[in-house]
Amino acid sequence: MLTFFKELSLKRSAWLLLAFLAFILESTGLYFQYGMGLQPCVMCVYERLAISGLFFAGIIGLIAPRVRIVRYLAILLWGYSAIKGLFLAIRHTDYQLNPSPWNQCEFKPDFPQTLPFDQWLPQLFAPGPVNCSENQWEMLGWVMPQWLIFAFGVLSFFFILVFISQLKRSKPQYRSVFK
């Protein structure tokens, strides 16, 4: 199984799939905002940034998956984004399922001064006047952050498989003089 995932990480189609899945998730969030009129909260903005990290990991891996340093960089960005997004979605779900005055998110994103994403791309990363504990959308009994826990959880699981598969040595290719 690990050999399968290592071989998969060497193919551009796998990295294109990761970028495509992240693009679909980001597009869905933008549809909720601009198509359905749902305003993103601060946690939604952080989760969008994690999804953007997944997209860029897919693009980096798509560039040269057979070059080890490029592939490792893409895998590390994938892992950081997926696991960070998973923790953000868990905390966001806690805000929504256990609302209280002392369990709330910030009013404004806390990006570093050197990377003010909310000022650079306000269409993507500027939150609306919504509290994180406010439930705006639900499907099949799950709120939006619970669906993100599922998505980030699946992506984190596959990251772990791909990461472990990179430690597996490839079979040496013996060339026979006589064929």
Catalytic pick from 12, 132, 169, 175? 132
**Residue 105 annotated among the catalytic residues of the structure:** yes
Cα→Cα distances 61→10, 32, 66, 70, 170, Å: 9, 29, 9, 7, 19
Question: Other CB atoms closer than 10 Å to residue 143's CB: what's the count?
Answer: 17
In the residue annotation, 132 being an active-site residue is answered as: yes
Out of 44, 68, 71, 175, pick the active-site residue.
44
Cα–Cα distance between 114 and 67 in angstroms, integer?
A: 30
Residue from 41, 71, 91, 175 carrying the catalytic annotation: 41
Residues 84, 76 contacting (CB under 8 angstroms): no
Phi, psi of 142 (to 5 degrees): -105, 140
In the chain, the DSSP E strands lie at: 138-139, 142-143
Q: Name the β-bridge partners of 100.
A: 103
* HSE-up (13 A, CA, CB side) for residue 164: 8
Q: Which of 66, 71, 91, 105 is catalytic?
A: 105
Question: What's the gap between Cα 111 and its chain centre?
Answer: 18
Is 12 one of the annotated active-site residues of the chain? Answer: no
Determine which one of 48, 68, 71, 91 is catalytic. 48
- Catalytic residue annotation: 41, 44, 48, 105, 132
